[in-house]
């Protein structure tokens, strides 16, 4: 499969950092959303937005001196992540964003609350990931964060992007955002004025496909991988990534070139090529 958008150069400054945790933090802040717009066929119940690439680039640039400091002395970040007992990548992603938002002086936000439950009597209506004040605009914003890995099938249209658990689809996630997660008008005695989805991770295209173009709502600024059920080119010396490396690989290969392939994400040793391997007919459980 030869698709021109798979071979684009991508600006990935986090790859210049040494410490694994700091590389992951930088990725969580600076990487673009996997979507650049909401699909036109998504029915909107409660409106929300996506930050553009320039916003994340600016945040990463402003935070870069702090990241370099953490790369030399990562103890504060490591200690903060000790709070996380779960291995779920989505929660790890949220923790990295929380660390950054608490690190005041490097961004225009004042964090008002994190993981805020909305309760009506005995019933929990939902939970808001982040509520913050944008000191540049004076507006209160509600952010929902998600780290997702979706595999395209068929014609790459919205219904045909599946997570590792096939019940976790991009369509279902976007509908959950607009119908449930962004339903609240206020939180912590503040009126919510803007709502943003932070949707990062990676998308994967089938290695064999007749489609020659991506939907216009897919963000080409985020590197796209391939997925398949056969072994890729052995000359690239793919190795299997550890679970936390799905966010950002370590600076050096964390394992030897793969001899025995199991389901998971693989990376070429000397290139930024990513391959999601899946055995035929196996129902995988979501890692996110």
Average pLDDT by stretches of 10, the chain with 288 residues: 60 97 98 98 98 98 98 98 94 98 96 95 91 98 98 93 93 98 97 98 88 88 93 84 97 90 92 90 42
Classify residue 285: in a domain, yes or no: no
Phi then psi for 169, rounded to 5 degrees? Answer: -115, 160
pLDDT given at position 57: 98
Classify residue 286: in a domain, yes or no: no
pLDDT given at position 1: 41
Domain of residue 65: give its range: 4-277
Classify residue 282: in a domain, yes or no: no
pLDDT given at position 8: 64
Classify residue 213: in a domain, yes or no: yes
Classify residue 125: in a domain, yes or no: yes
**Total structural domains in the chain?**
1
Beta bridge partners of 145: 198
pLDDT given at position 142: 98
Secondary structure letter of residue 207 according to DSSP: S
pLDDT given at position 284: 41
Please choose, from the candidates 15, 41, 45, the residue with its C-alpha nearest in 3D space to the C-alpha of residue 30.
15
Classify residue 79: in a domain, yes or no: yes
Classify residue 207: in a domain, yes or no: yes
Which two three-digit tokens encode residue 278?
């899946």
pLDDT given at position 283: 41
Classify residue 287: in a domain, yes or no: no
DSSP E strand boundaries for the chain: 109-120, 123-134, 139-152, 161-162, 186-187, 190-191, 194-206, 225-228, 238-240, 264-268, 274-277
Please choose, from the candidates 12, 25, 11, the residue with its C-alpha nearest in 3D space to the C-alpha of residue 71.
25
pTM (2 d.p.)? 0.93
Asked if 243 contacts 34 with a C-beta cutoff of 8 angstroms, the reply is no
């Amino acid at each position: 499969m030869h698709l021109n958008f798979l071979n684009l150069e991508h600006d990935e400054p986090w790859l210049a950092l040494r410490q694994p945790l700091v590389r992951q933090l930088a990725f969580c802040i600076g990487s673009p959303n996997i979507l650049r717009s909401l699909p036109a066929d998504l029915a909107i119940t409660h409106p929300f937005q996506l930050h553009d690439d320039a916003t994340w680039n600016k945040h990463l640039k402003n935070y870069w001196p702090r990241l370099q400091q953490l790369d030399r002395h990562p103890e504060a970040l490591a200690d903060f992540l000790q709070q996380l007992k779960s291995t779920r990548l989505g929660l790890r992603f949220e923790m990295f964003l929380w660390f950054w938002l608490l690190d005041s002086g490097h961004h225009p936000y004042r964090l008002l609350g994190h993981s805020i439950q909305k309760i009506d009597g005995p019933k929990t209506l939902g939970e808001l990931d982040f509520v913050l004040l944008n000191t540049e605009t004076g507006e209160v914003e509600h952010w929902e964060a998600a780290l997702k890995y979706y595999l395209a099938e068929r014609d790459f249209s919205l219904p045909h992007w599946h997570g590792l658990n096939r019940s976790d689809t991009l369509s279902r996630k976007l509908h959950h955002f607009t119908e449930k997660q962004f339903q609240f008008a206020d939180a912590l005695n503040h009126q919510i004025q803007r709502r943003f989805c932070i949707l990062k991770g990676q998308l994967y295209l089938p290695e064999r496909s007749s489609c020659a173009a991506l939907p216009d709502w897919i963000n080409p600024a985020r590197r796209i991988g391939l997925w398949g059920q056969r072994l890729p080119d052995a000359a690239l010396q793919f190795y299997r990534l550890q679970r936390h490396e799905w966010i950002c690989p370590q600076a050096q290969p964390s394992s030897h070139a793969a001899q025995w392939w199991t389901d998971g994400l693989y990376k070429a040793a000397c290139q930024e090529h990513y391959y999601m391997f899946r055995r035929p007919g196996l129902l995988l459980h979501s890692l996110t």
